[in-house]
Amino acid sequence: MNNRKILFVITSLGFGGAESQLLGIIPALADRGYDISLLTIKTDLGLISRLDRRAKHYDLGVKGVKSMPGALRKLNAIIKEVKPDIVHTHLFHANLLGRFIKMRHAGIRVINTTHSNYDSHSRAISPYLCYRLTSKWVDYHSAVSVPALRALQSKSGIRKERSGVIYNAIDVDSFINTGVRVDPPVFKWVAIGRLIEVKDYRNLFDAMQLLLPSGVAFTLDIAGDGDLKNELKAQVELAGLNRHVRFLGLVKNIAQMLPDYDGYVISSRSEGMPMALLEAMSAGLPVTGTDVGGIRSIVEGADGGIVVPARDPVGLSNGMMQLMKMNPLMRQRLGERNAAYVRNNFAKARILDFWEDIYENRIAVTA
């Protein structure tokens, strides 16, 4: 058993894949003997109820530039109280904060994790430039997908020996693969993710509108919430998709609901390694997804679905139609391959072993 102290730092605990991933890893690491604390930067704590009771939570409460001096004083007090051996940060702002901690506390081992490729065109300052300028204050930088790692290495100057891919972990035993429905009267799609721009639901609805004249009966359920909910509902109504699309809001029993569907669709314009995709694959669903982040490497690695260009409603509609018209036995094979691939590559125990190698500076393997 280990008694090292880990302070995890994340931007917030809103409803997202990175947040869910971290909250799932914390109890497993506590079971292995690590003393866990969690620091959030912003007071967005929608998932705080899922934090393991053994982990102590601290919140900097940053609400803008004016709150920064007080937050930094609070951070210094937290570091003195926790006395972490390891600071492991997730998401861009937390990664930079981790490097600030390293500047002031050189003996702490600091690990950054990047969960996506960064769209530098939409930011005033490139995250990759920020990483390059502060690269000496991080011990190891992980990414959740190969494309995200390559971008870090090429654009941020992160050396190979100080970086690697560590995939997201899945509790594979929580998901049930019941097989496909044979000739379903209505093909039931599911999409999971926040209702935000990067998920590009507008592209998905445009693709569905193109499918309407085909005569194939289909529905789409979307599990998630977000700032674009009203705009997306308006688009659905304008496109004549009211009978086809349901907005489920936040769903707590994702693992239990997935067996009710025939296929999973992901229309994102940017991703890292989507947790929801891995969960759908673990449940044995075939996939149609856009070619961003780690989606292609995972779907093609499993040989369990169809990858289409991003921001291309025609391509997405064709990929969805291909899956809907596929022989049910072939769809079942795709789903079985997906479930097996996730079990073999993303099982939580396997990923935890990799993290321990990083924490203990035994960097001998990458996922």
H helix or E strand, kind and range, residue 42: none
Confidence of residue 365 (pLDDT cuts 50, 70, 90): very low
Whats the size of the chain, residue-wise?
A: 367
The pLDDT of 11-20, averaged and rounded, is 88
Please check the confidence at residue 119 and state whether its pLDDT lies above 80: no
**pLDDT tens per residue, range 163-186:** 999 999 999 999 988 887 888 899
What pLDDT is recorded for position 2? 65
Hey, what are 228's tokens?
């674009």
Least confident segment among 13-27, 101-115, 121-135, 258-272:
121-135
How many Cβ atoms from other residues are within 10 Å of residue 113's Cβ?
Answer: 27
**pLDDT tens per residue, range 218-252:** 999 999 999 999 999 999 999 999 999 999 999 98
Query: Domains plus CATH for the chain?
Result: 5-169+347-359 (3.40.50.2000), 172-345 (3.40.50.2000)
Of 314, 191, 323, 319, the C-alpha closest to 257 is 191
**pLDDT tens per residue, range 273-291:** 898 999 999 999 999 999 9
Of 247, 172, 196, 220, the C-alpha closest to 316 is 220
Confidence of residue 293 (pLDDT cuts 50, 70, 90): confident
Per-chain mean pLDDT for the chain: 93
Confidence of residue 267 (pLDDT cuts 50, 70, 90): very high
Question: Could you identify the residue written with the tokens 């109280």?
Answer: 81
What pLDDT is recorded for position 65? 83
What contacts 311, CB < 8 A, 6 or more positions away? 200, 203, 269, 290
**pLDDT tens per residue, range 65-88:** 888 899 999 999 999 999 999 999
- Rounded to whole angstroms, the Cα distance separating 177 from 264 reads 13
Sheet architecture: strand order including 187-192: 245-249, 218-223, 187-192, 263-266, 287-290, 305-308
The pLDDT of 102-131, averaged and rounded, is 87
